[in-house]
Amino acid sequence: MPQRIAPDPTARGPLAGVRVVDLSRLVAGNMLSLQLADFGADVIKVESLEGDTLRQWCEPDPQGGAPFDAWWRTYARNKRSLALDLRDAQAMALLRRLLASAQVLVESFRPGTLEAMGLAPALLQAAHPGLVVVRISGWGQSGPYRELPGFGSLVEGFSGYAHKHLENGTPRLPNLALADMVAGLTGAFATLAALREVEVHGGRGQVIDLSLLDPMLAILGPDVSCYAHAGQAPDPTRKIASPRGVYRCRDGGWVALSGSTDAMARRVMEAIGAAALADDPRFATNAARLRHDAELDAMVARFIAAHDLPDCLALFRAQGVTVGPVLDAPGLLADAHVAARGCYVAVGEQATVMHAVTPRLSGTPGGIRREAPALGEHTRALALELGLDEGELQALLARKAARCS
């Protein structure tokens, strides 16, 4: 079991003093604001009275218990929840007060929606010149597809990712919210870059046009460059190095192995008892090995198939080969390295297991200050902090324009 920790509300990260108003829903915006919240930013989730849709992404309980809201517990930690009906004029006025105190606004509405709400970035930045506005959408704020729905699955197909992962000729989507996660990480970096321009160089706030598509195109390698250069699309099933792959062991375990350099490939061949192959012109360079990959791959697979996973790892590691086990969730929680580094922690009274704050800073590390909030958990405190009196707050609640947990 990972180390159990209690949230520490006194922890101060390097982004302390930065207030982020997060109007986004689902994964990309929550991943972005999680990075900022983990390192000390005051992230305020402004939710509808029904809550962020991510709250509904629950995993079934194998024992028949209540569904487990793992997505929300993990990606909403360190945030505060303000539940408002933004169709109400007084609720919108409260949001405007909140924005006046913020350095960052994150939204993921369809392009044009923010303008229709009277919150066009130009208007906001006229009143608050340093405000950084992050606009998340599937396809971006410009271009002929800007108004089309843009969930990550569509982008994973459109971007070429699914085509690079053919299975029996069929493109495959990833079994995770890949495009959203990559966009969230990219957006967090862009936000910090824009904040630095304001805080260090005295510049103005900027609008960050963060599509799910652009970051996916950035991580998928040079296929388009190769096509533009040679007029022929690379084979999506091609390897980039040989030997390289995932191989099944005798006991049913799996290993991932990579011989991405000539020196490493030589070690692989020595480890499988085929040292002479390293001087064979067919296998002496990566380009040559790729041309004869089927033969080399079959030899590696046969060797691994004759050994149990622990012995296989020991044999290859003794030769300095880059090899490792293919793990699932139970394997990760049982792994000594994962445990030693504290990659997962069990948070709060319910000991919810989630990934630890990453990356690791030596002097001003991030931390977990609070668990994921209940819907509207901080509505009262924030409303009073922003200048509403108790009567005004009660009027909002009575009109169902706001919600407290």
Question: Distance (Å, rounded) from C-alpha 354 to C-alpha 294?
Answer: 40
Would you say 13 and 357 are in contact if contact means Cβ atoms under 8 Å apart?
Answer: no
Pick the closest to residue 180 from 201, 203, 206, 159 (CA basis).
159
Q: What does DSSP assign to residue 59?
A: B
Strand boundaries in 131-200, DSSP class E: 132-137, 166-167, 170-171
- Indicate if 214 belongs to the active site: no
Question: Distance (Å, rounded) from C-alpha 309 to C-alpha 2?
Answer: 24
Would you say 402 and 83 are in contact if contact means Cβ atoms under 8 Å apart?
Answer: yes
Buried/exposed code over 252-281 (b: 16+ C-beta within 10 A; e: otherwise)? ebebebbbeeeebbbbbbbbbebeebbeee
Give 145's contacts (C-beta < 8 A, 6+ positions apart).
Answer: 138, 139
Beta strand pairing call for 254-258 and 244-248: antiparallel
Would you say 204 and 125 are in contact if contact means Cβ atoms under 8 Å apart?
Answer: yes
Q: Token pair of 334, please?
A: 């049982």
* Annotated catalytic residue, options 52, 180, 293, 335: 180
User: Which residues are known catalytic residues?
Assistant: 180
